[in-house]
Structures are given as C-alpha cells and as structure tokens.
Amino acid sequence: METEPKKSKGWCWWILVLAIAAMVVASATLTIWSNGRHSKVSSVPDRPGKIAENYADALKIAIQFFDIQKSGKLVNNKIDWRGDSGLEDGREEMLDLSKGMYDAGDHMKFGFPMAFTATVLSWAILEYGDHMKAVKQLGNAQASLKWITDYLINAHPSPNLLYVQVGDPELDHECWERPEAMTEKRPVTQVNTSFPGTEVAAETAAAMASASLVFKKINSSYSNLLLKHAQQLFTFADTNRGSYSVSIPQVQPYYNSTGYGDELLWAASWLFHATRDESYLRYVTLQNGDAFARWGTPTWFSWDDKLAGTQVLLSRVNFFDTTEISDGENIGLQMYRKTAEAVICGLLPDSPTATSSRTDSGLIWVTEWNPLQHSVASAFLAVIYSDYMLTSKTETLYCSGKHYKPADLRKFAISQTEYVLGNNPMNMCYLVGHGSNYPQYVHHRGASIPVDAETGCHDGFKWLESLDPNPNLAVGALVGGPFLNETYIDSRNNTMQGEPSTYNSALLVGLLSGLLTSSSVVSSFS
C-alpha cells in the first residue's frame, strides 16, 4: 500500500543517493548489468516471425469485447445484439460523455479503471503493434483505444476539472436491463481543486500520454491534443494531492484506491516517454522515488497498483536509453530495474524467491475477486521484460543464486496463457468464445437479456435469475476466473468469478499480442 508523500529533505536525499550508489557498485550479484555474466544472445528478428495461430485466434476474440462494452452512438457496429446507449450522458453539464466503455457487467462508467484500460491497451500497441498488424488486429485495437480517449478528452473540460464517473452505482445496481433501455438517472461526478482525485487524474494523464504516442504518426493533431490534456492533468494531480476515495467516498465499495503515489510515478513515466522531457525522469527518480517507489519490494500490477508496471516501463529506459541521463537519475533507474527484476523473479515458479501466491497447477492467484487479472497482468509484464532482454541482448536474469534466460520468462507467460485458454483442471477456457468449453452464464446484463425483450429496470431481474444460458454471446469476455482450489461455478449470480471487465481484456490483449509471434521491440516509443 502506498503511503502519503514525505517532504523532501535535501541532505537526507543525498545520503540516500550515496548509499544507493554504493549498493549498486558493491552488489555485483544483485544486478544483471553489473555481474560480469553478460554474453550476447542470438539476435531477434526486426519483423514478426511465424504466427502462433491459437494465440492469433484468441487475440481476435479478446479484442471484440471492447465493442461489446462501448457506450454512445455505435458506428459500424459489429455486435448484432448491441445498439446505441448512454446518448444523454453528460448532458446535464453540457458535455458529451456518451462515449467511453462500461467497465464490467453493469452500466457504470468508472473513470479510474477505464483510464487504466486505455493505458494498458496503449502499452500493448506500442510494444506489439507490429504483431497486431500481422494478424490484422492493429486497427481494431487503435479504434477501441480512441473510443475511450475521445471520452476522456470530453471528461476534462478545463485544466483542474475531471469528470470521473457517469451513473449512480446504487441506482445502477438496482436495475437489470440492457444498456439500450436505460431510463434511470445518470449523474456525473467530478474531481477538482476542492475535491481532489490524484489517482484518477494521474491515471487519466497516463492514458492520454501513452495514447498520444500511439497516434503520433497516424493522427498528429489528435496526438498533440492528448498530450496537452495529459500534461494538464498531471499538473492538476500532483499540485492538488488527495485521494479520490476520500473526496468521493461512494466509490469505495467499487474501485477504492489504496494510494496515489503509484499513479503519479506511472503518469510521469509515460509523460517522459511521450515528451522526452527530463523533468519527468527527475520526478520519478530524484524527487519522488524515495517517497513512492517502494524500491526492492515486489507488488502486483492492477488497476489499483501501478508500481510493478512502472518498474518494468522504466526498465525500458535503463535497457535502451541512458546516454544523456544524469548519474543520480541513472541510479534511480537502476533501482526501478532491480525492483522489476524482483517482481519477475517472484513469478518464475522455480525461482528461489518464487511467490507462493499460485494454485497447485501454477496459476498466479492473489484474490478471490477477479483472480485472473493478476495472472494475466503478471504474464504480460513477464513477456515484455523477456523481450527487453532479448532486444538488448541481455542473456540472463539473476534471481538469488539462479540464472534465467528470456525463454524462461516467456515460458512462464505461456503457462498462464495456456491455463486461461483451457489447460486447467476444469478444462475451461475463461475467454468467452474461444474453443468449445467456456462460461455460458457470464455476469453481464446485455448478454443475458434477449434483444427483443421488453423489460424495464426491475422486471429485468428475471433474466439474472434465469436458468437458461445467456442468449447473447459476450465474445472476448475474460471472466474473473477460478477459486484457489481451481474450481469455477458457472452461474450468472456468481459475480466474484463470472464478471468480465475491460481492464482484464486490455491485459489479455497485450499478453496475447506479445506471445503470438516474436520480434524485437522498438528502443524508443517516440
């Protein structure tokens, strides 16, 4: 859990810097760039190689879930049981908040997880867009991303104001209806200087900064607009520090934040990649690393905690781009990379520091609610890190006495992916629409109600209670996943296991894109 920021004390900081420098120099066995065991690996191809057809099929399916989750006036609608919805969202504030995506099986638009969805999807495109292009999915991924960023732009009408929610979760959860038939009130919620929301503002800044890189070469004016919003939002988030869970206590039962330091580092890291402005690098290293980074402590990557993702993302800088970076910043980057290594070492099943948070069959398992988020997120980080190693020709990762190759990281990522796709004790594919045995009772309102059903808010609950499978297939939905004992109860009322989410899908899209073929990653996004 993140802590409140500590005031910077200049002399304390320089003592810390000197201590870190001494540790980096002395600890030859803790860092793969100073242990003297480097050797060249075989070069990886610049372009995608042979395609793994099973992963290509799964990727095509997974990307479709974004179309199912779209709000607004649907253009070139690809889902025959979906239609226009949420067209009046934001109208009371004279805003067009009709776009964006419903986060899960209900009809809320929660800005915090939606922005995280966009950031992860951007990251996936930036690392593996060439892979997506090879299987004709890059355009679909970019279109899904833009559907979210269009919404985020409209949700940020002035520098210090961000609308972070559409709908009242209590009212929304009193209904079971198709999104096209919504009639209940859908109020909007904002954060501002009086009621700050550092986490959600910073995550939205990260989404816009990363997306600006995605669109930089294909729509430069849109990219510039996104970057402008990102910079304004980061300044707003950093200047007006305060938890959105405190400002808006009604979000706590849904997407409660455990702290905002991770989002500030995450956003600044993306802004550095997007602008190459060294002030953002100073922010994450010299200025705020000691307060927020939790160097040396592995964490789980999720919509709430961005530290592990930040550590891997900043490792990219340490792998590929240290030529004009100051010594102090380089020390900070090495600490981020060392912590990223600790994260990855914890994931490898036979590592001396392997986490015990996994099932008997080897699936990373952290929480009862939506456990596959952590499994897929962990595998996504592992495949990215393995590709950083390959592209930089770094042969080994050192984990407390054992050495691992990039292929070992990829093997772990494949094990998690294969489990999700059906290689598990239930022989259940947790990606709806892939294979022949997947959940039939997904907790999803639109999927559970026939298109021609004339039901309102309350009488629609008969479809929730129905014993029949969903009449509409939620193609691409990644459900929450199995219990620790590796069982899964396929029931529409089983929200804990059976509700999909857009952020799960974004992580899975990134993972599948990384695994469906091989090629070197770019050394710089810009």
- Pick from 306, 387, 376, 297: which is nearest to 341 by CA? 297
Assess contact for 384 and 377: CB atoms under 8 A. no
Distance CA 291, CA 324 (A): 25
Q: How many domains does the chain have?
A: 1
User: Can you give the pLDDT at residue 89?
Assistant: 97
- Pick from 326, 223, 322: which is nearest to 275 by CA? 223
Domain assignment present for 442 = yes
User: Can you give the pLDDT at residue 30?
Assistant: 34
Distance CA 4, CA 242 (A): 9
Residue 295 belongs to domain with CATH number? 1.50.10.10
Which two tokens mark 116? 């995280």
Is 173 annotated as catalytic?
A: no
φ, ψ for residue 516, nearest 5 deg = -70, -15
Distance CA 170, CA 385 (A): 41
- Pick from 377, 212, 407: which is nearest to 310 by CA? 377
DSSP classification of residue 458 = T
Domain containing residue 257: 53-516
From first to last of its 526 residues, the chain has per-residue pLDDT tens of 333 333 333 333 333 333 444 433 333 333 333 333 334 455 677 778 899 999 999 999 999 999 999 999 998 899 999 999 999 999 999 999 999 999 999 999 999 999 999 999 999 999 999 999 999 999 999 999 999 999 999 999 999 999 999 999 999 999 999 999 998 999 999 999 999 999 999 999 999 999 999 999 999 999 999 999 999 999 999 999 999 999 999 999 999 999 999 999 999 999 999 999 999 999 999 999 999 999 999 999 999 999 999 999 999 999 998 777 888 999 999 999 999 999 999 999 999 999 999 999 999 999 999 999 999 999 999 999 999 999 999 999 999 999 999 999 999 999 999 999 999 999 999 999 999 999 999 999 999 999 999 888 999 999 999 999 999 999 999 999 999 999 999 999 999 999 999 999 999 999 999 999 988 899 999 8
Residue type at position 411: K
- 10 Å Cβ neighbour count for 178? 23
Which one of the listed residues 156, 273, 434, 443 is annotated catalytic? 443
User: Can you give the pLDDT at residue 67?
Assistant: 98
DSSP classification of residue 474 = -
The position carrying tokens 């691409």 is 476
Assess contact for 262 and 292: CB atoms under 8 A. yes
Buried b (16+ CB within 10 A) or exposed e, 414-442: bbbbbbbbbebeeebbbbbbbbeebbebb
Helix (H, G, I), strand (E, B) or coil at 268: helix
**Which helix (H) or strand (E) covers residue 250, if one does?**
none
Domain assignment present for 21 = no
Distance CA 96, CA 101 (A): 14
Assess contact for 307 and 294: CB atoms under 8 A. yes
Domain assignment present for 42 = no
Domain assignment present for 458 = yes
Distance CA 526, CA 524 (A): 6
Residue type at position 295: W
**Which helix (H) or strand (E) covers residue 109, if one does?**
strand 109-110
- Pick from 435, 388, 381, 434: which is nearest to 412 by CA? 381
DSSP E strands: which ranges in 276-401? 397-399
Distance CA 269, CA 311 (A): 9
Q: Does pTM surpass 0.85? A: yes
Residues contacting residue 67 through CB under 8 Å, at least 6 positions apart: 77, 78, 79, 82, 144
Domain assignment present for 476 = yes
In tens, the pLDDT along 75-134 reads 889 999 999 999 999 999 999 999 999 999 999 999 999 999 999 999 999 999 999 999
**Which helix (H) or strand (E) covers residue 110, if one does?**
strand 109-110
Domain assignment present for 505 = yes
Which two tokens mark 218? 């294909």
The position carrying tokens 């160097």 is 295
Which two tokens mark 403? 């050495």
Distance CA 76, CA 181 (A): 20
- Pick from 382, 315, 400: which is nearest to 30 by CA? 400
Question: How many residues are listed for the chain in this entry?
Answer: 526
How deeply is 453 buried, as exposed, middle or buried, from its count of CB atoms within 10 A (0-12, 13-18, 19+)? middle
Helix (H, G, I), strand (E, B) or coil at 280: helix
Assess contact for 348 and 412: CB atoms under 8 A. yes
User: Can you give the pLDDT at residue 456?
Assistant: 86
Domain assignment present for 383 = yes
Domain assignment present for 16 = no
Helix (H, G, I), strand (E, B) or coil at 193: coil
Percent helix, percent strand, percent coil in the chain, to nearest 5 = 50, 5, 45
